Amino acid sequence: MSTAAAKLKDDKMSSSVQKRQTPKAQNQCEDATSPKSDDKASSRKMIKSVFLALLVGILINVFIGLLVDFGELVNTIKSVSLMTATLPFAIILIIYVIDSLRYQLVFKRFNIKVSFRDSLYNNVIGYFFSNITPGSVGGQPFQVLHFSRLGLDSTITSNVVFSRLMESNIVQLLIVAVFFNKGIGMMSAIGKGAFLLSAGMLITILMTVVLVLGFLNPHLLGVFALKIEKAWLGKLISKIARDTCWAEKLSAWSQGLGEGFRILWKHNTWTMALDILIFLVDQLLWAFALYVPLTAFTGTPAPFPEFLLSFVLCSLISLFIPTPGAAGSVEASFVLVLSALTGKPAATLSAVLVWRFGVFYLHLLVGGLVYFFVPTRRDVYITGEDGIIRRVRPARVDRKARSS
């Protein structure tokens, strides 16, 4: 067993006394019976969320379209080539593959050989739930739940999944720091979009502080879970986890999560550094998915440093808009800032619409189909004789359960 895995196991055992629910929470969980899940009602809620995301996005995009030359907008969209139209969609597929390999890289440090299929499914579903929850906040919790259902330790999966938040923030902060001077120059010349750039820079700094505090004080995750337990998102998590006391359990084991974060980053520093570099590639691919149609529609390539900075900051701002998956707000913020950068509002809006159609709306459909029609099994990861945790066939899982 690797040093990180062994250390984490020892720390979890030593802190088990601290991982207790309050008597009230314990009684509630002990008395609670597992209710029959109303799959039809849950499916209707899911479809309603998807429909709401589509409706909000369409309405906001129609409103934006009224502010530009509609004839020019239509002619510009008609001139798009098939390659330009499909590139954003294809790039997200590539990012799914890259992120699946990233999972395999990091889980390996805990003697876990996660399959590519499970990693790919996790990324697709994580993106899907991000796209149907306000502020795109639903992806990571469902990724943790999926890995836990497969039989992986929830503390380890939380370390891996939520460490990605820290990595993404590090990359975004690095981009802002490198191009900070260009951002100041843009704010003085960009006009109405200047407040978005300044807000984005402030949000980047605040998110860094919040995430650092979160990693140092992970019990805040448990506090957050208890607060959303009765909300729609909490009820949906309860349905998928098939556990009405998931929030209390999350609050209990989050007490020892901080040590796990420190182990992951302290004993596997080079692995995490490599993962950060790979995420930088992810970020550049995300930007490239918009840069190509923007260049094609406007006819002139925008300065890439200024474009990349604008892309990162507008993406961060959109996370604080309370629409499902930030639908519509992303288009509005990008059009406002990039129009000032290109000087061609109609062509910029065309590029943003093609980009969002490929990276958001089409993948909303793909994620929904995967969620509803691709089955997942429980507890399919078992520790082998060599100490490595790997996925086994269902028949072997059943035999293992009977023998134990």
Q: Which two tokens stand for residue 394?
A: 């269902």
Rounded distance between C-alpha atoms, residue 124 and residue 370, angstroms: 8
Sheet holding 112-113, edge to edge: 112-113, 389-391, 381-383
pLDDT for the residue numbered 166: 81
Residue with tokens 């395999």, as numbered in its chain? 104
**Higher pLDDT pick, 188 / 293:** 293
Element (H or E) spanning 389, and its range? strand 389-391
Backbone φ and ψ for 284, nearest 5 degrees, come out as -65, -35
Q: Which two tokens stand for residue 268?
A: 């596997």
Rounded distance between C-alpha atoms, residue 183 and residue 201, angstroms: 9
User: Is residue 330 exposed (0-12), middle (13-18) or buried (19+ Cβ within 10 Å)?
Assistant: buried
**Model confidence pLDDT, tens digit, residues 159-201:** 888 888 888 888 888 888 888 777 666 665 565 555 666 666 6
Residue with tokens 């290109």, as numbered in its chain? 342
Is residue 99 very low, low, confident or very high in pLDDT (cuts 50, 70, 90)? Answer: very high
- Is the Cβ–Cβ distance between 241 and 145 less than 8 Å? yes
- Say which amino acid occupies 366: V
**Model confidence pLDDT, tens digit, residues 45-98:** 666 666 666 666 666 655 555 555 556 556 656 667 778 878 999 999 999 999
Q: Are strands 112-113 and 389-391 parallel, antiparallel or unpaired?
A: parallel
Is residue 297 very low, low, confident or very high in pLDDT (cuts 50, 70, 90)? Answer: confident
Beta bridge partners of 112: 389
Which residues lie closer than 8 Å to 147 by C-beta, 6 or more apart? 114, 118, 122, 154, 157, 160, 161
- Say which amino acid occupies 209: V
Q: Which two tokens stand for residue 179?
A: 């191009």
The most confident of 16-25, 77-86, 249-258, by mean pLDDT: 77-86
Query: How many other CB atoms are found less than 10 A from the CB of residue 225?
Result: 19
- Is the Cβ–Cβ distance between 318 and 330 less than 8 Å? yes
DSSP assigned state of 299: S
- Is the Cβ–Cβ distance between 130 and 111 less than 8 Å? no
Can you tell me whether residue 59 is helix, strand or coil? helix
Rounded distance between C-alpha atoms, residue 278 and residue 70, angstroms: 40
- Is the Cβ–Cβ distance between 99 and 116 less than 8 Å? no
Q: What is the largest CA-CA distance in the chain?
A: 71
Rounded distance between C-alpha atoms, residue 254 and residue 179, angstroms: 37
